[in-house]
Amino acid sequence: MKTDKSHRSEIAGAAHEMMSDAHDAGVVSRATLRSFDEACLAPAPLLAGEEIKAIREREHVSQPVFAAYLNVSRNLVSDWERGVKRPGGPALRLLSIIQRKGLRAVA
């Protein structure tokens, strides 16, 4: 099994995959799968404003277009890039995916 940066380790990735398959088979409840998500999935890395801007510029998109992909306002993207605000939750996870795999991963 290859190492996936979204899991804490290769073993955690294998355990998560096994539990996900067990959930798909109806053997494991959704609540149990959620607890495995918390235990196995790596937290999204915090990103500085310069890193967010570098990701956007690497993808060759404007702030409004980038904001549309993330389902946030252009002003919020601007605030992130200037360090006025920091992304959290789903936006931070999407940014980490875009950082690793490019904008096409969320398109």
* Predicted confidence (pLDDT) per residue in 45-92, tens digit: 889 999 999 999 999 999 999 999 999 999 999 999 999 999 988 899
CATH number of the domain encompassing residue 82: 1.10.260.40
Q: How many domains does the structure of the chain reveal?
A: 2
Same domain, 26 and 71: no
Q: Tell me, rounded to whole angstroms, the distance of Cα 12 from its chain centroid.
A: 17
Report the distance separating Cα 42 and Cα 39, nearest Å.
Answer: 8
For residue 30, pLDDT beyond 80: yes
Asked if residue 100 and residue 56 are part of one domain, the reply reads: yes
Other beta carbons less than 10 A from residue 7's beta carbon: 18
Output the pTM of the full model. 0.66
Please answer whether residues 47 and 95 qualify as being in contact, where contact means their C-beta atoms are separated by less than 8 angstroms.
yes
Q: Please say whether the beta carbons of 95 and 55 come within 8 A.
A: yes
User: Is residue 71 in some structural domain?
Assistant: yes
> Is residue 4, in this structure, part of any structural domain at all?
no
Same domain, yes or no, for 59 and 98? yes
Structural domain of 71: 49-105
Residues 90 and 55 in one domain: yes
Of the pLDDT bands very low, low, confident and very high (cuts 50, 70, 90), residue 1 is: very low
Question: Would residue 5 count as lying in a domain?
Answer: no
